[in-house]
Amino acid sequence: MLEITNLHASVGDKPILKGLTLSVPAGEVHAIMGPNGAGKSTLSNVLGGKPGYEVTAGSVTFRGEDLLALEPHERAAKGLFLGFQYPVEIPGVSNVQFLRESLNAQRKARGEEPLSGGEFLKLAKDKAGLLKMDMEMLKRQVNVGFSGGEKKRAEMVQMGILDPAFAVLDETDSGLDIDALRIVGAGINAIMRAPDKAVLLITHYQRLLDVVKPDKVSILAGGRIVETGGPELALRLEAEGYDAVMA
Amino acid sequence: MTLATLPTRRDEAWRYADMDGLARLGVAALDQWQAIDVPAGESVTRCLVVGSDAPELHRFRVTLGEGATAAFFVTNAGGDYTRVEVEVRLAKGAHFEFGGVTIGGAGVTREFVTQVVHAEPEATSNQTVRAVHWAGATGNFLGEIKVARHAQKTDAAQDFKGLLLEAGASANAVPQLEIFADDVKCAHGATVGALEEAARFYMMARGLDPATAQRLLVQAFIGDAFVALEDEAERETLLDAALAALEGAKL
């Protein structure tokens, strides 16, 4: 579903990704772990198309198409969802308005009929319930006044509503307490565990992987994938640390 | 009194004006003041969309009786030089509310000029102006607040924010406070900035095209100016007129 080949990317003049190759087929949850500064967030930003990240070599193919040739909103309409490490506050815009416009923009790009206000609210209520989030919060401004944990939960509600084929989740577990972590993990499973979907899960910790059991685990270090294995690789990292495992 | 000649840029109140636009208006336009007298205890709300393709000047002279209220809400758009002036005199316990949006590109100049005179005690005023410009256009807010010596417990606030969608556009805020009483609150704030790139990317990552993302962000930005307007239909009219002016703006 997602094929990354020899990807090189820079921020400003600084090369961050240096020949990253990774393949994530449909039906797979692939966890990416790695030390600070390895390029994990750069990978997710390059996949999302964030301005300021320049791809200098390599390719990314998503569902058979050149992902890098698409604008961020076109990537979303093709089924890519980017879960932000730091979800952005948008004062003056309600979650409901933002998500309804977003979903209908995606549907329009795919040649589907827009959802009516009633249909959308029903869907939003359903997905908010999945993440145990009060509908009242969705009527509030996007992420404004939300705690760190609420922002991450709201990201997952957004993912549920937009129903992507592929999710890149950048440290979705950071800032979550133990209960919220379970809820978010269960949400990821409910929304994304399907034969025709896949997830790239960027994380520092084993805790989330206990809930969202990954099929594969890769270590990203120095801008490239240095090792790929099964779930046991994450357990080894947790026990021994990056230096020992990569030595 | 009839003005014999047009003002010049040396006049403080016309410092940022479009003098060519003013010349096209002609000297006669300067004499056209609309007087609004609000008797004690009563209230008046005026909503105005300025938006023709000719230069426009609207001048209001408002007198508020004891405990009276006047509220003005204006979308200042259109194809040429536009200027809306409001002079208000408040009696005891009166309230003046002003919400204005200047929006436009194509090198136009748009202005709000207010003079709020707190002539007696315990009157309140609140002014919120938002300016959104691009393509060499300019938005100006010249706001003067005068508090008379015995007008104690005056509470006056003025808030200006400018959003410039590209380099070359400008916004000028000129707050002038003249306070002779000692037990008053007079607040003013002015900021000018660009659209937040992080918010724009976040919205695009959810599927919104750049124009829709910009429209939502601008809508949220200018919404502050019309928060105090309770009539939802009027509020929609003012917002729609402003957002219509945004079509074709720089992305």
What pLDDT sits at residue A49?
Answer: 96
Q: How is chain A split into domains, by residue range?
A: 2-246
Q: Where are the alpha helices (DSSP H) in chain B?
A: 19-25, 197-205, 210-223, 232-246
Mean pLDDT of chain A: 93
Encode pLDDT of A159-197 as tens digits: 999 999 999 999 988 888 888 899 999 999 999 999 999
B199–A82 C-beta distance less than 8 A? no
Mean pLDDT to the nearest integer, A216-235: 93
Nearest alpha carbon to residue B146 among B174, B114, B169, B168: B114
Q: How far apart are CA A181 and CA A211, in angstroms?
A: 8
What pLDDT sits at residue A71?
Answer: 96
Count other Cβ atoms within 10 Å, centred on residue B125.
25
Which range among A216-225, A231-240, B103-112, B162-171 shows the weakest confidence by mean pLDDT?
Answer: A231-240
**Inter-residue contact B157 to B129 (CB < 8 Å):** no
Mark out chain A residues that contact chain B at CB-CB < 8 A: 48-51, 71-73, 75-77, 82, 84, 87-93, 97-99, 101-103, 105-106, 109, 158, 162
**Entry pTM:** 0.89
Smallest CA–CA distance from A164 into chain B, residue: B206
B212–A51 C-beta distance less than 8 A? no
A178 residue type, one letter: I
Kindly tell me if the per-residue pLDDT of B174 is higher than 70: yes
What pLDDT sits at residue A225?
Answer: 95
Encode pLDDT of B34-71 as tens digits: 999 999 999 999 999 998 889 999 999 999 999 999 99
Across the strands, what pairs with A17?
A: A9
Number of Cβ pairs closer than 8 Å across A and B? Answer: 75
Domain presence at residue B31 = yes
Q: How far apart are CA A72 and CA B144, in angstroms?
A: 45
What pLDDT sits at residue A93?
Answer: 92
What is the domain extent for residue B167? 12-194
What pLDDT sits at residue B67?
Answer: 97
Q: How far apart are CA B126 and CA A243, in angstroms?
A: 61
Kindly tell me if the per-residue pLDDT of A87 is higher than 70: yes
B175 φ/ψ angles, rounded to the nearest 5 degrees: -80, 135
Domain presence at residue B172 = yes
What pLDDT sits at residue A244?
Answer: 82
What pLDDT sits at residue A165?
Answer: 97
What pLDDT sits at residue B3?
Answer: 54
Mean pLDDT to the nearest integer, A39-62: 95
Kindly tell me if the per-residue pLDDT of B224 is higher than 80: yes
* Tally of domains in chain B: 1
ipTM confidence: 0.94
Which range among A56-60, A163-167, B22-26, B178-182 shows the weakest confidence by mean pLDDT?
Answer: B22-26
Contacts of B204 in chain A (CB under 8 A): 49, 71-73, 76
B203–A91 C-beta distance less than 8 A? no
Which range among A130-139, B2-11, B75-84, B120-129 shows the weakest confidence by mean pLDDT?
Answer: B2-11
pLDDT band at B9 (very low <50, low <70, confident <90, very high): confident
pLDDT band at A204 (very low <50, low <70, confident <90, very high): confident
A99–B206 C-beta distance less than 8 A? yes
Mean pLDDT to the nearest integer, A209-226: 94
Which range among A49-53, B3-7, B193-197 shows the weakest confidence by mean pLDDT?
Answer: B3-7
Mean pLDDT of chain B: 94
What pLDDT sits at residue A246?
Answer: 79
Kindly tell me if the per-residue pLDDT of B247 is higher than 90: no
Nearest alpha carbon to residue B245 among B49, B22, B7: B49
Q: What is the dihedral of CA B244, B248, B250, B251, to 10 degrees?
A: 80
Give the rounded percent of residues in chain B with a pLDDT score beyond 90: 87
Q: How far apart are CA A104 and CA A162, in angstroms?
A: 9
Residue A220 distance to chain B (closest CA, Å): 24
Contacts of A89 in chain B (CB under 8 A): 199
Mean pLDDT to the nearest integer, B113-132: 98
B207–A73 C-beta distance less than 8 A? yes
Encode pLDDT of A12-25 as tens digits: 999 999 999 999 99
Q: Which of B196, B207, B219 sits opposite A105 (nearest CB)?
A: B207
B212–A76 C-beta distance less than 8 A? no
Q: How far apart are CA B133 and CA B164, in angstroms?
A: 5
Domain presence at residue B133 = yes
Q: How far apart are CA B202 and CA A89, in angstroms?
A: 9
Mean pLDDT to the nearest integer, B139-155: 97
Across the strands, what pairs with A94?
A: A141
**Inter-residue contact A195 to A165 (CB < 8 Å):** no
- Can you identify the CATH homologous superfamily of domain A2-246? P-loop containing nucleotide triphosphate hydrolases (3.40.50.300)
What pLDDT sits at residue B231?
Answer: 95
- Distances, alpha carbon A234 to alpha carbons A4, A27, A31, B160, B235, in Å: 22, 20, 9, 53, 55
Write the CB contacts of A155 (distance below 8 Å, at least 6 apart in sequence): A83, A84, A87, A172
Mean pLDDT to the nearest integer, A214-227: 94
What pLDDT sits at residue A173?
Answer: 86
What pLDDT sits at residue B71?
Answer: 98
Kindly tell me if the per-residue pLDDT of B4 is higher than 80: no
**What's the length of chain B?**
251
Mean pLDDT to the nearest integer, B103-111: 95
pLDDT band at B2 (very low <50, low <70, confident <90, very high): low
Nearest alpha carbon to residue A91 among A133, A50, A140, A136: A140
Q: Where are the alpha helices (DSSP H) in chain A?
A: 40-48, 72-77, 95-109, 117-130, 135-139, 148-162, 178-192, 206-211, 231-240, 242-246
Mean pLDDT to the nearest integer, A65-74: 96
Count other Cβ atoms within 10 Å, centred on residue B9.
10
